[in-house]
A and B are shown apart, each in its own frame.
Chain A
């Protein structure tokens, strides 16, 4: 009886190991067929030795072997199960290589190319390549199973070292030279091995230092942050600063949308409209080539841009006062599209320029000083963001903020409590729009030209995503969200079109793992923890 149970137990184990391998094998097959391996084959992590696609290929069986439930210590059974998962995963990839090599599937699967076969089989002859795929799969699977049992200090240092090599190598043109890779691995792993304990000590001593000098740090915190923010463009250089400028514009708009969506709970999918209005008003008022031909300065134009956006916010707000949730989202979506189509339309072409947009928009000028370089605009954007942060903070803690909170939580009860729904909703729309209007004004004067295709629905979606990913209703969340959602894709440019794939996957994982956002507002965090 016991033997029987034991056997069925191990059968179950074999079945599960195969299932894990098959799952990983399917994922790898999918990733291969959408062309990731072929593209990553030319991105070398270690020059001439290891490509990013090989790293990705190795990661599959490793994870498959790692995925099983680990016992107290490494048993032969666990290692075998891991190996089995790896073999199954390797077999899937091997079969894929065989299939692609023998049948021409390119009519349906564009990426099923001979090149893919070469990548998958490491450039070896087909038979040998498939055998080595299966063999390596088994070894890596077993290694994955054993990985859990490696002492944590060693595991941490090796993982950190390998991770550093992969990231540095992938971001560097042509990867790291083999010697350099070895040096980086040795330095990082060795350093982490030696200093893991010290690192913890360092953390505790910093903690002590912080506690002892709390009042001093409290005084110094803002000046230090300001000095840091002021110094950033000198460290980053021109390209880095223009990326940061883009992030800053999104922070400004994100803070505006955060008032509407995060504070007042009104889902707005057409937020780009106010950005468009801010940019076009600035363009019309400042460009000498515009139909108005008034040629005002930036400083005279931006308040007008802000006001125009506010008025538009109220105009949008009035018809949607009684709408909620999905209906509100659809109407605001339509509003965003209407504005974009208006600026693109032929009937307004004499005024707004149609598809040609507005050009020759002058940059701001202060006395004799002309804003030209991204670094100059950085300070302008920083100023806008700081103002937006201060306004947002003051509002959130005020009576107005409490009214928005009540409306967000339950509009009917808010009304019964005596809160003027109309007034506070319109206030949210107007204030939110005004931030975006300022953003549009800066955008127009920075690029010197604006075209309708800069103001698509995607901008609205990006802003909404960064507010949600960062943490609804949280000011630091908006900043983190903009850094991750706007900054990261720029940094990932090396990966060409696959950056959006990686980015999308990151978003999904992020929302599954941390639905409250990167840096959630205190209230939201508590709700999600308790709920």
Chain B
């Protein structure tokens, strides 16, 4: 049974219908990526899954349970946690405080401590800067912190929104290496990316979004070799 099932959701961004009937599934242990141009509805889809936006139509199931009407904090409690777009961290809190805030819902102090060490092991740079304010970190470090904070909720499914945005190529590669590592350690990942090339290189499966609809789906391998995708998203000149 699929871990996460999105069934024909329609969501509005203000008065604009940004998502016009998206369906997708994410299986346990997978990395699934949503690629597409600006304004294709990728972020809106993600925000609908995490409950920040409520769909006008359609349902979202987590292991068969309907989570569509739940408020965001209950969805986090059920194991879906999002690292929002644009490296949204608490800029005026320290790195450590940011990470502790990520574990807000958890009450197992020992587990939180272990996960903190785990995050610091994944991102040694954050460990060095643990008492620095979030706002003083570099762009790449802020992105690491945003991912680390989401991990502190110990999610079953991690939603990542454009983790490569605005980062230098070397850092992008570093971030994607870590995403793969997180996945290898057992966290399912739904990844929204504009950098289709990088996303397809680590994902198992992919959905291509255009104008709020899924226009193509399949294994990352298939999508990567689709001539349409190659022309539109991978920058190949035909």
Contacts and interface: CB of A to CB of B under 8 A. Distances in A.
A410 B90 contact: yes
B84 A416 contact: yes
Nearest to A413: B88
Contact of B76 (A403, A417, A523): A417
A417 B147 CA distance: 11
Main secondary structure, interface of A, reads helix
B143 to A, nearest CB: 14
Contacts of A405: 93, 101
A480 B103 CA distance: 35
Contacts of B83: 416
B210 interface: no
Interface in B31-65: 50, 52
A416 B90 contact: no
Contacts of B50: 416
A402 interface: yes
B136 A416 contact: no
A162 to B, nearest CB: 44
Contact of B92 (A409, A415, A419, A420): A409
B153 A415 contact: no
A418 B93 contact: no
B121 interface: no
Contacts of B89: 410, 413
Interface in B96-116: 100-102, 104-105
Contact of B81 (A418, A419, A526): A418
A406 interface: yes
B104 A403 contact: yes
Contacts of A406: 90, 101, 104
Contacts of A523: 92
Given A409-B92, A409-B93, A527-B133, A417 B104 contact: yes
A527 B132 CA distance: 11
B215 interface: no
A422 interface: yes
A410 B133 contact: no
Contacts, number: 67
Interface in A415-464: 415-422
B149 to A, nearest CB: 7
A212 interface: no
B190 to A, nearest CB: 14
B52 A418 contact: no
A420 B70 CA distance: 11
Contacts of A527: 92, 133
Contacts of B218: none
B82 A416 contact: yes
B71 A417 contact: no
A201 interface: no
Contacts of B91: 409-410
B133 A530 contact: yes
Contacts of B100: 402
Contacts of B136: 530
A36 B92 CA distance: 44
A526 B100 CA distance: 19
B89 to A, nearest CB: 7
B2 interface: no
A420 B90 contact: no
A497 interface: no
B73 interface: yes
A396 to B, nearest CB: 14
Given A403-B104, A406-B90, A420 B71 contact: yes
Contacts of B73: 415, 418-421
B163 interface: no
Interface in A398-412: 399, 402-403, 405-406, 409-410, 412
A399 B103 CA distance: 11
A455 B204 CA distance: 65
A230 to B, nearest CB: 39
A272 to B, nearest CB: 30
A521 to B, nearest CB: 12
Contact of B52 (A415, A526, A530): A415
B84 A412 contact: yes
A515 to B, nearest CB: 15
Given A410-B90, A530-B136, A416 B71 contact: no
A406 B101 CA distance: 8
Contacts of B102: 417
A274 to B, nearest CB: 27
B77 interface: yes
B146 to A, nearest CB: 9
Contact of B72 (A403, A416, A530): A416
Instruction: Choose among A409, A416, A419 the residue with the greatest number of B CB atoms under 10 Å from its CB.
Output: A416
A410 B104 CA distance: 15
A331 to B, nearest CB: 21
Interface string B124-139: 0000000001011000
B88 A410 contact: yes
13 contacts: A399-B104, A409-B92, A410-B91, A412-B88, A414-B101, A416-B50, A416-B82, A416-B88, A417-B153, A418-B72, A418-B76, A419-B73, A421-B73
Given A406-B101, A417-B104, 20 more contacts: A402-B104, A405-B93, A410-B88, A410-B90, A412-B84, A413-B89, A415-B52, A416-B50, A416-B88, A416-B150, A417-B81, A417-B101, A418-B77, A419-B73, A420-B71, A422-B71, A527-B92, A530-B133, A530-B136, A531-B135
Interface of B: 50, 52, 71-73, 76-77, 81-84, 88-93, 100-102, 104-105, 133, 135-136, 149-150, 153
Q: Closest 6 A-B residue pairs measured CB to CB? A: A418-B76, A420-B73, A418-B105, A409-B90, A418-B73, A413-B88
